[in-house]
Amino acid sequence: MGGRESTVAHGPEHGLERLIFFSDAVFAIVITLLVIELHAPILPRGSPDWNYWAALIALTPHFIGFFISFFVIGFFWAGHHRTLSLAAHYSPRLVWPNLMLLAAIAAVPFFTAFTSANPMMRVPIFCYCAWLLIAAILNRRLQAIATSPPVVGETASPELVAMTRERGLAVILGAATAMLISIAIPVLGQVALATIPLWRLMLGRIREGRR
């Protein structure tokens, strides 16, 4: 009976759906906040065209930061969606790990602004990558709960669960790689986030090799 009290069947007005809807709203708000750092240049009336182009070019680091973080948050949202699509039952154990992940995601616009205002500088880029590592670890913790009994759906295949967890681990490894690279070569720190798919491929091959 204790198990039934801590787990509730998935339904239209259920806690699991409320958690998902709330999370989607937070992701949507955070990803929208990124554009706040893109301040439109205001030049004196009658300024020559080149001054306008120069003002836009000066915003290049902010545009780069916007697009990087837009897709970073988007990928986190996709992973969150993929993870909770495997869940079929609500558990109070989901609440705090989910809130902690959302708190980490909510701070991404700050670290984006920090790196955009200080392009190619070691400390801002290191902090950005380190924060993504924290978010990735929190994401992996949520995955572990959502893809384990009693939360995971009975129809979720073990292979799909393993692949979902591998994706979460790949994000951790990719963010850690980016953080370490940012110490030695700051300009390549955020670029190193592109190693995430490589880590995922390697983890998949390791899993296949164990069969």
User: Region 19-32: what's the mean pLDDT?
Assistant: 96
pTM reported for the whole predicted model: 0.89
Q: Are 171 and 196 in contact (CB under 8 A)?
A: yes
Q: Tens of pLDDT along 57-99? A: 999 999 999 999 999 999 999 999 999 999 999 999 999 999 9
The mean predicted confidence, pLDDT, of the chain is 91
Of the pLDDT bands very low, low, confident and very high (cuts 50, 70, 90), residue 104 is very high
DSSP annotation string for 125-194: HHHHHHHHHHHHHHHHHHHHHHTSTTTB-TT--HHHHHHHHHHHHHHHHHHHHHHHHHHH-GGGTTGGGG
Q: Tens of pLDDT along 177-191? A: 999 999 999 999 999
Q: Which domain holds residue 99?
A: 2-210
List the single range of 4-8, 30-34, 133-137 with lowest mean pLDDT: 4-8
End-to-end Cα, the chain, rounded Å: 37
Count of structural domains within the chain: 1
The predicted pLDDT at position 210 comes to 78
The single-letter DSSP state of residue 118 is: S
